[in-house]
Structure 1
Amino acid sequence: MIWKVALLTASDKGSRGEREDTSAQVIRELVEEELGGEIVDYRVVPDEQDELRAALIEMCDYFQADLVLTTGGTSLGLRDVTPEATMMVSERTVPGMTEAMRAAVMQRSRHYMLYRGVIAIRGRSLIVNLPGDPKGVNDMLMAIMDQLPDALLLVSGIGKDRDY
């Protein structure tokens, strides 16, 4: 199955063209090579909760992305609001996957205990918040990559639920 994937980068500098979006490049490669996904939408928006929320809604509802991967805006900075925007549009969370991502990267750097990202569901879309740095993106996404197909099947209504 080819998954429809949307990429959303939260970055003030990136949205103004002042910074190259290297994290999205890492995500794109992993989605295509490891997941067999197809990028159906990609955009860079400033760290503004309303713009993030609007982009997430459009990616899930209009583009009907199976998976929305965000990068940036997940730390403790005053303008880091990606988790809040995600929670505003989501119906349910998937804390076990978030915990697995954090555990995987904390072995490398305890700095990641400051990561606040969430994994949530909107309709039939899974939204995954990733950090803004390429290495963190790679490590966190690879920590859940083996479970993403099952999660996407379940969220889409195709997969059979198990009693966990």
Structure 2
Amino acid sequence: MIRVGILTVSDRGASGEREDQSGPLIKEIMQNRGWETAACSIIPDERKKIAQKLIEYADDLNIDVVFTTGGTGFAPRDVTPEATLDVVERLAPGLVQAILFESLKITPRAMLSRAVSGIRGGTIIVNLPGSPKAVRECLDVVLPALEHGVQILRGETGDCAENQDD
């Protein structure tokens, strides 16, 4: 069972001014996949708070995959990537590169994303956009590979090559 944490980063969402739609969508997609949502939070766009929550999810709750949603754009308060970089030990750039590649097929605005992904201990952290439509599109890209990534981090497998004879 893969355990997921969902962290919505939004000033207006945290204050109750805006209903979070992306966090619940991620949770629904995870449930449909058979993955457990172990933690779900909404916090403001504050670098220290984001970093603290990511550390809590990874170190204290031992979550396998943390998805952040929001705070990856050009706005002055969009600091999710910086907070993520503050806590990851190793980068996993292929995840966001794959998202960017596929997203550019949908909209040229995808190049405005500053999302990052990385690993902290046994936890994969992936920054997603704040829009529900973009969240769904991005998850469609990364989910097929993430289960294998979790297995590698757990030491359950080490072989990334796919059998070409099947």
Q: Give the TM-score, by structure 2 length.
A: 0.94
Aligned-partner residue type, residue 18 of structure 2: R
Q: Which residue of 2 aligns with 1:86?
A: 84
* d(CA) in 2 for partners of 1:17, 1:140: 26
Q: Which residue of 1 aligns with 2:58?
A: 60
Q: Which residue of 1 aligns with 2:164?
A: none
| SS in structure 2 at match of 1:145 | helix
Q: Percent same amino acid among aligned pairs?
A: 40
* d(CA) in 2 for partners of 1:22, 1:149: 24
Q: Which residue of 2 aligns with 1:142?
A: 140
Q: What's the CA shift string for 1:105-133, capped at 9, x where partnerless?
A: 11111101001111100000000100000
Aligned-partner residue type, residue 29 of structure 2: L
| 1:15-164 pair list within 5 angstroms | 15-34=14-33, 36-162=34-160
* d(CA) in 2 for partners of 1:67, 1:27: 12
Q: What's the CA shift string for 1:75-119, capped at 9, x where partnerless?
A: 011100001100110011111111111111111111010011111
Q: Give the TM-score, by structure 1 length.
A: 0.95
* d(CA) in 2 for partners of 1:106, 1:25: 25
> Which has the larger Rg?
2
CA, structure 1 residues 61+38, in 2 after alignment: closer, same or farther (shift >3 Å)? same
* d(CA) in 1 for partners of 2:98, 2:158: 22
* d(CA) in 1 for partners of 2:121, 2:74: 28
Any stretches of 5+ residues in structure 1 without a counterpart?
A: none
Aligned length: 161
* d(CA) in 1 for partners of 2:156, 2:119: 15
Residue 3 of structure 1 contacts residue 37 of structure 1 at CA under 8 Å; is this kept in 2? yes
